[in-house]
Amino acid sequence: MGVHVVVGATGGTGTALVRELLGRGEVVRAVSRRGDCAVPGVEAVAGDAADARRMREVCDGAAAVYNCVNPPFAQWRAVFPETVRSLVAAAGAADAVLAFADDTWMYGAVDGPMTEETPVRPVSELGVFRAWLAEMTLAAHYRGAARTVIARGGELYGPNVESLFGQNLFGRATLGRRPILFGDPTLPLTPTYIGDFARTLATVAADPTAHGQVWHTPHPAPTTALDFTALATTAKPITLPSGVTTALKLVSPVVRQGAQLLYQFHQPFIVNGNKFTAAYPQTPTPYADGVAATLTWYQGHKHQIRTTALPS
């Protein structure tokens, strides 16, 4: 037994993971820069994830450490590599497993479902960066610096999640505005509900036989952006094709800085989680249930919705 240390505990993934771990009866230490946490029943402490000495302190006595850090894109180069190094060292010193919350950007332009065996062929700078961080994390396991494991999800959605489906779909739907979609909204995709992502992280961290591997979050059957959007609103979506640079700059910082990732919505975006479901009995959250929970959260956080200059 030991404490479960969630680093980056105030973001969408970190908050969902804290709740998941508490639901499993674990003792949770929530680490963030400000030292606050919206979830009651945890030990909230302040710490800079890139500060190796501080991370070693906050991870003392840990059974598991979770890297849920998600700095702004502009800070990635300065923050992310040092964060991985500091958490590997901290987890190793505590003899704890380090679980990394990852995405699928390193796979690049694929023409079918993404599995854990899909070649790493990034087509964007951010994808190259994510591939490097994942390699750093797994290399630590195989050189004996720390036990590590990686969980990957697709385009995230859910309470407190900032993504292309965040403000653009749920925020605007909450305000009665038309949602904004990118690329071809008729292509198949598998949005990842944040609660399922958190369960995947907690599950593979708890199982020593899963360590040293990559695991994809399971999903319901593929949907389309149009059908997914229809679960949230009856309003006709605004579809932005590629190359609409002016419109992208109006939408949000996530879109503005992550425009290089929009290629994902011009191809099937299917994350295959069969490896996980073959090993663990976890039923994915139906899209209708995940959308309803997300809308409920946005209704209670209208003050956080950022409006745009695009048509209503």
Tens-place pLDDT, residues 108-117: 999 899 999 9
Residue 126 lies in a domain: yes
Q: Are both 182 and 85 inside the same structural domain?
A: no
Are 66 and 99 a contacting pair, CB within 8 Å? yes
Q: Are both 65 and 113 inside the same structural domain?
A: yes
Q: Is the dihedral of CA 225, 227, 232, 238 positive or negative?
A: positive
Residue 312 lies in a domain: no
Q: Are both 50 and 182 inside the same structural domain?
A: no
Residue 275 lies in a domain: no
Residue 281 lies in a domain: no
For 103, 158, 165, 196, 299, the CA distances from 225, given in Å and listed in that order, are: 19, 15, 9, 19, 22
Residue 277 lies in a domain: no
Q: Are both 52 and 164 inside the same structural domain?
A: no
pLDDT-derived band of residue 169, with 50, 70 and 90 as boundaries? very high
| DSSP strand pairing (156-157 vs 192-193) | parallel
H/E stretch holding 299: helix 287-299
Question: Is residue 153 helix, strand or coil?
Answer: coil
Q: What's the pLDDT at 306?
A: 72
Are 193 and 218 a contacting pair, CB within 8 Å? no
Q: What's the pLDDT at 309?
A: 45
Residue 215's contacts (CB-CB under 8 Å, 6 or more residues apart) are 116, 149, 150, 151, 152, 200, 204, 273, 275, 276
pLDDT-derived band of residue 20, with 50, 70 and 90 as boundaries? very high
Q: Are both 107 and 81 inside the same structural domain?
A: yes
Residue 278 lies in a domain: no
Q: Residue 51: which domain range?
A: 3-155+192-216
Q: Are both 151 and 164 inside the same structural domain?
A: no
Rounded to the nearest angstrom, the gap between the alpha carbon of residue 162 and the centroid of all alpha carbons in its chain is 9
Q: What's the pLDDT at 282?
A: 85
Across 158-172, average pLDDT: 91
Across 26-46, average pLDDT: 92
Residue type for 27, please? V
Q: Are both 178 and 122 inside the same structural domain?
A: no
Which residue shows structure tokens 């006595």?
A: 61
For residues 303 and 83, the model is more confident at: 83
Which residue shows structure tokens 């992280």?
A: 201
**Residue 169 and residue 195: Cα distance in Å, rounded?**
18
Tens-place pLDDT, residues 252-308: 555 556 677 777 888 899 999 999 999 998 899 999 999 999 999 999 988 777 755
Tokens representing 265 are: 């919505």
Q: What's the pLDDT at 261?
A: 75
For residues 224 and 306, the model is more confident at: 224
Give the chain's mean pLDDT.
91
Q: What's the pLDDT at 243?
A: 60
Q: Percentage of the chain with pLDDT > 70? A: 92
Q: What's the pLDDT at 245?
A: 47
| Cβ atoms < 10 Å from Cβ of 117 | 8
CATH no. for residue 7? 3.40.50.720
Which of 38-42, 100-104, 209-213, 269-273 has the least mean pLDDT? 38-42
Q: What's the pLDDT at 249?
A: 53
